[in-house]
Structure 1
Amino acid sequence: MTAPGYRTIVVVDVVGFTDPRRTSEDRSAVRHGLYQILETAFAESDIDLGLCDLEDRGDGALILVPQQVPRRTVADRLPDRIVAALRRYNWTRKAWAQFRLRVGLNSGDVVHDGNGWLGTAIDTAFRILDCPDAKALLTSSARMVALISSESFFQEVIAGDPGTFPESYQQVPVTVKTYTGTAHLRLLGEPTAGEPPTLAPVATSTSAPKSAPTGTLATRPPAPPSSRGDVLEVIPAAELRTLRDHLSVTEVPRLAILLSRAAGPAIPLPRREDVHDAWEAFEYLMDFNAGPDGIPPAVLFLELLAGELDGEAGEALAHWIGEQAGRWRLGPALEKQRLTRTPLPDEPHLHLTLMVDLDPIDPSRCVLASWRQDDPEVWPPPLGGVREVAMEELEYRVDEAILDAEDAWWEQGTAAAVEFVLPRTLLHLPVLRWRKEHVSGKPHPLRYDYRINIRSLERMRARYWHRIWHRRWDSMLEDPSADRLHYSGSSEFEEHPIDAVLSDPHWVGLVMREKPAARPEASAGPDEFLAALRCGLPVVLWHPEAGPEELRELLDWVLGGESGFIDLPARRKLAGLPTSWLPGDSLAHDLVVMWEDPKRVIVLDQPLIPNRG
């Protein structure tokens, strides 16, 4: 137990946090919003929240301010900054993610017993926070914050300082559990014209419910798609009609990417048949709350769209957003978003990542999991389906996953890659010879339409290999010259162990003499494949049939582009096309390229539970 120390105590509680009309997603958004508001308010009060001791209380928090911060600073600055931060937060949220606060102030000696903070002053702070009269007065008002001071804190700090507006407080009796005393209440946060509604309390009486106060929602109706309860309600109807007329006829080649990027990982994407133009994308996003940055996804969509449009159309939309940003108080957040967002690439690739792993009990079956990327610059994508399938059916189930991805990508004029994340025991799978559209009766080789890439499941899982993997990858991007490819069995290195050779940072790729053994035997000699993974080489190549000279000739062409290794995936695909002019070009069809970008890793820290199929 620590020695007692004198601290200023701030306790906060979200009004109606457990209201049954809030979903678990609503409560999660409220909790996140509470801490966002506290961080902002403390920073604007010149109080470092990082130096405070903070305990989460589920629907609120306990904050112990360091003794060196004057109590007058807390009483003078913090209440108004909490109101300002809460108003800005609520303004960009739908009603069910908005909230009001009760804030209690006290000071006194506290101790920490190793499990949490203790002290009579803390008990008093939570008792006055639960003051029934304070709750009732806040509920009957349209104010946003109930500031409740203990009697001692009011007399010692507030009463003698005109700057804290002591005349605005009213004394209220407090009888909570075994505590009886008085407190001082100040209601803050006057409503403004056009302010979004906030959640009204659930009636606890058995009598007929009273009508809700002006500016509140008494019930949560099943909102139709056209209902709007957020910041976008303040857009004048005439401007909204003009926006609709403009967006409905605007051609947006990469609409799906813009929609995906504006939605982010927390918002489910609509069905393709539900969104035909920019207006319908904007309208879909209007039903969702702002994210942690405070920007509603519909506004972010317009911001991204303005950057995508050329000429007067883009300039006009950007100008309109700039005018609205002041009304919405989103100027700083939008400016930060512009500075930090990743631009859309000129030659993007979408990735469908398919992980295959053997069933540990029945080797005739395997688990197939998929991750589909809908925005080339957003990673990781969400986990899609997880299925348990028979090995003999695997090519057909992969075909189904690819066609599902194509159904989602149908409006994107973007190149695509299919990656197979395989354990060592399945590296022999002939995925380069697999085909799609079997249902048509005339299946089509995958290699004609996609970059086909192999990735190591063992490396994906072994985080202790990732640091050196990042270093070799970054080194390859800086110098992608083809002479950084090591050919296994080279006479000049035959006297040295392969792991010693590959530890030289010059090498970023390895050409193996033969395909990796599924289960290498200890007597078989050095394990080249394992050495490559351990040394962080991002590129490993092998061919199941080609001799050394044939393979070298093929790789001289594949790596013969101006950018060396950078061009490898594209030239590997080109070499496998039937129109390739390469001599003996059928060899290229079976050239296995393990191209491993450490910045595109699937996190496999949770078990994948399949459905048998």
Structure 2
Amino acid sequence: MPLRLVSVLTDELCALSCVREARQRSLFISLVCDDLGIQWIEQGIAVRAEMATFVNQALQHRGSEGYRAIVECVGALEGRESGESLDRLVRRAVYGVESRGLPELPGVFAAETQRRAWELLTLGPVPRPVLHSVLAGELRIALPDAEGPVGLFAHLAEQNAQPDGLPPAVVLVEVVAALGSSQAAALQAWSEEWAEAAELTGALRERRARIACGAVPDSTVPRALVVMVDPAHDGTDRIYVRHWVNAAAGFWQPRAFEPQETTLDRLAPAVLRAVRHGEAQWAGAAEDSPVHVEFVLPHSLLNHDVARLKIAADAFEPLPLHLRFYIHLRSLDRMRVRDARQLSLWRERWRTLQEAPAAETYRWSRTTDPLTQWQEKLARNPRVTGVILQHPAERGHGLEALAAALTEGVGLVVWDRRPDTPQSVELLQLLLGHSPGQLPFKVHQLRVQAETEEVGRLLVGRNIAFLWDDPNRLVDCEEMPA
């Protein structure tokens, strides 16, 4: 039984006189027990603990019958309006819906069919971020933010059928089952019964197979906040900041939020706004995997220190962003290129990187490596998957080499943002000796360690730029209209 439902019901019941007063409480418990045909022996403990235990037992009896009995007994003792008010409060707090029953759609779902689906969804919930990610990928329609399975069913029951004829609410039931609900078998039986009556068994079978593939998590996909910074290019210092939140690890379904116009020196407040949107989306996750903040930047800003942007947390001093999140860079210019050959190079080198025990790297120094010859060597060797720049990514220093590496499909580039730091190269080489899957963590670890260093090699952690650009995780990066 969902703990949230027990908690909210207990809160509301303990505020009622039929529970606060001992005699009325005994009568209330007796009425509920008689209605459900169960027995209850008073525990002799604190009222709240007693009611939490009783509510938990009642709710486990025949699914929604226990809930119905509690609400109706409140109505009998406190008045009908009190019972209905309790029902509305609980539905809003637990499920995000206020209606007494789910909307009836004649010809789509009979009332009993809806009630059974609601009961199964209540008894077998799944993590909200994962549910939203997989369901959004299946339905390709906007979903309300705060809804759990029952609230989503109420919302989707009013939506038009999918192209294959299946109502979105049926797809929801199938997704919840595929994500490992404790009621998976019963949910699938519910779908099959409905599909048979609607003569859509074939469509259901095909959709179920597709959902099964889409419900398998990809271990390379993190919870993420993607922040794109796009200069206005109008002679002013204006920039547009757009951001997307990927709510669930394992599933790439980034959700876009409204862009913001600001300036580069006001980037931190814009990033804080994006972080808060992310935190709202990540709430409710069963896992606590790290969050990656990915800055999609034009070439001109790739040397900008975004990892140490200081963002304020309530009642605390602003802290560098990299202390809370894994920070890395992505190339806006390359993401906007529509060249099929370049995209193919990018994907192929990235696949090679992910399959290797460690990156095969090339270094670049403007004092020893003529850029044209260096790029030609890189183009001839598709096994090279990482580049170490000996100079910062600024025009006339390392930026041209970085652009060349991006053109050749390299997705992993590191450098020290400070000028004249050849001593950093050896440490960066050691860093890239770790397995690719560990690199975001290792960079994060180096950055955190560097915050307590006054001198020494680890200081590079305060200045490291880490481009980690996955071609399989793109966002809509079209230019903002003028």
TM-score, scaled relative to structure 1 = 0.55
Q: How many residues align?
A: 372
* Match 2:461 to one of 580, 588, 610: 588
Q: Which amino acid aligns with 1:514?
A: H
Residue 297 of structure 1 deviates from its aligned partner by 1.9
Query: What aligned pairs does 1:180-579 form with structure 2 within 5 A after superposition?
Result: 226-229=102-105, 232-234=108-110, 237-252=111-126, 254-264=127-137, 266-272=140-146, 275=147, 277-309=148-180, 313-340=183-210, 341-345=213-217, 347=219, 348-376=221-249, 379=252, 381-412=254-285, 413=287, 414-438=289-313, 440-464=315-339, 465-482=342-359, 484-489=360-365, 497-503=373-379, 504-517=381-394, 519-520=395-396, 527-545=400-418, 547-556=421-430, 558-561=431-434, 564-578=435-449
C-alpha distance in 1 between matches for 2:195 and 2:450: 54
Q: Deviations over 1:260-311 (max 9, x none)?
A: 4324464322242xx3x43222222212122223332211111111122366
Contact 2:223 2:290 in 1 (8 A): yes
Per-residue CA deviations over 1:431-480 (Å, capped at 9, x if unaligned) read: 11013335534223322332211111111112223222122122223335
SS of 1:440's partner is: coil
Structure 2 distance, partners of 1:569, 1:359, is 30
CA distance in 1, matches of 2:136, 2:438: 32
RMSD across aligned positions (CA): 3.3
Superposed CA offset, 1:165-189 (max 9, x none): xxxxxxxxxxxxxxxxxxxxxxxxx
Distance 1:232 1:376 in 2: 34
TM-aligned CA distance change 1:530 to 1:269, over 3 Å: same
Q: Cα gap change, 1:250/1:578 in structure 2, threshold over 3 Å: closer, same or farther?
A: farther
Could you tell me whether the CA contact under 8 Å between 2:156 and 2:168 is conserved in 1? yes
Is contact 1:498–1:526 with CA below 8 Å preserved after alignment? Answer: no
Distance 2:284 2:444 in 1: 23
CA distance in 2 between counterparts of 1:443 and 1:525 reads 31
Q: CA deviation at 1:535?
A: 0.8
Counterparts in 2 of 1:577 and 1:481: CA distance versus 1, 3 Å? same
Partner Cα distance (1:240, 1:511) in 2: 59
Aligned match of 1:127: none
Distance, in Å, in 2 between the alignment partners of 1:559 and 1:227 is 56
Find the residue that maps to 1:540 and give its secondary structure: strand
Q: Which has the larger radius of gyration?
A: 1
Structure-2 change in CA distance of 1:540 and 1:391 (3 Å): same
More strand per residue: 1
Question: What is aligned with 1:183?
Answer: none
The one-letter code of the counterpart of 1:544 is R
Q: Which runs of 5+ in 2 are unaligned?
A: 1-98
Cα pair 1:498 1:531 within 8 Å, conserved: no
The amino acid across from 1:330 in the alignment is L
**1:463 match: secondary structure:** coil
Letter in 1 for 2:144: P
Query: Counterpart in 2 of 1:163?
Result: none
Q: Counterpart of 1:507 in structure 2: which amino acid?
A: V
The structure-2 alpha-carbon separation of the partners of 1:608 and 1:440, relative to structure 1 and needing over 3 Å to count, comes to: farther
**Partner SS, residue 448 of structure 2:** coil
Deviations 1:198-221 (A, max 9, x none): xxxxxxxxxxxxxxxxxxxxxxxx
**Structure 1 CA distance for aligned equivalents of residues 106 and 347 of structure 2:** 43
How far the C-alpha of 1:512 sits from its partner, in A, is: 0.5
Larger proportion of helix:
2
The offset of 1:399, in angstroms, is 0.8
Counterparts of 2:306 and 2:272 in 1: how far apart (Å)?
Answer: 11
